């Protein structure tokens, strides 16, 4: 999996790492049980501090996307059933995206088609 970071972005590097790993899992590039690079290796490959990678991995662990074991390292977690809290979080994020799209002149059908295209690009794990 190729990680591309934007140092000029307002999004913190650890969040960019987290987002790209989640996208990789969602697209099927990273499979359930697959080992992620070690913190040191990913830091070296991405040319970032090990603490940055560690922070991203800890966030992914907290969110349930990966598990971390001292012997096996970080691995992709099994797909989870969405719970109420996640659905509420997703709804709030979609509400903001919908408002932004409307303010930029996007029609509902265009927004829904875009959502469907993006979601279809994700493969089940």
pTM beyond 0.85: the answer is no
User: Strand, coil or helix: what is 74?
Assistant: strand
Question: How many other CB atoms sit within 10 Å of the CB of residue 99?
Answer: 10
Local confidence band at 86 (pLDDT 50, 70, 90 cut-offs):
confident
The CA distances from residue 13 to 37, 44, 61, 74, in Å, are 17, 14, 17, 19
pLDDT at 83 (0 to 100): 82
How big is the chain by its Cα radius of gyration, in Å? 16
Question: Helix 50-62 vs helix 13-27: angle between axes, to the nearest 10 degrees?
Answer: 50
Can you tell me the distance from the alpha carbon of 111 to that of 98, in angstroms, rounded to the nearest whole number? 8
CATH class of the region 13-76: mainly alpha
Domain positions in the chain are: 13-76, 84-120
The pLDDT of residue 125 is above 60:
no
18-29 pLDDT, tens digit each: 999 999 999 999
Confidence of residue 90 (pLDDT cuts 50, 70, 90): very high
């Amino acid at each position: 999996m190729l990680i591309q970071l934007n140092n000029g972005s307002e999004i913190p590097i650890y969040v960019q790492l987290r987002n790209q790993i989640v996208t990789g899992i969602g697209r099927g590039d990273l499979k359930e049980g697959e080992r992620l690079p070690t913190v040191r290796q990913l830091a070296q490959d991405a040319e970032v501090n090990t603490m940055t990678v560690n922070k991203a991995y800890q966030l992914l662990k907290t969110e349930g996307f990966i598990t971390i074991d001292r012997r096996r390292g970080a691995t992709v977690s099994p797909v989870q059933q969405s719970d109420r809290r996640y659905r509420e979080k997703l709804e709030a994020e979609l509400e903001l995206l919908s408002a932004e799209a409307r303010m930029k002149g996007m029609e509902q059908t265009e927004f829904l088609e875009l959502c469907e295209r993006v979601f279809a690009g994700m493969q089940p794990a």
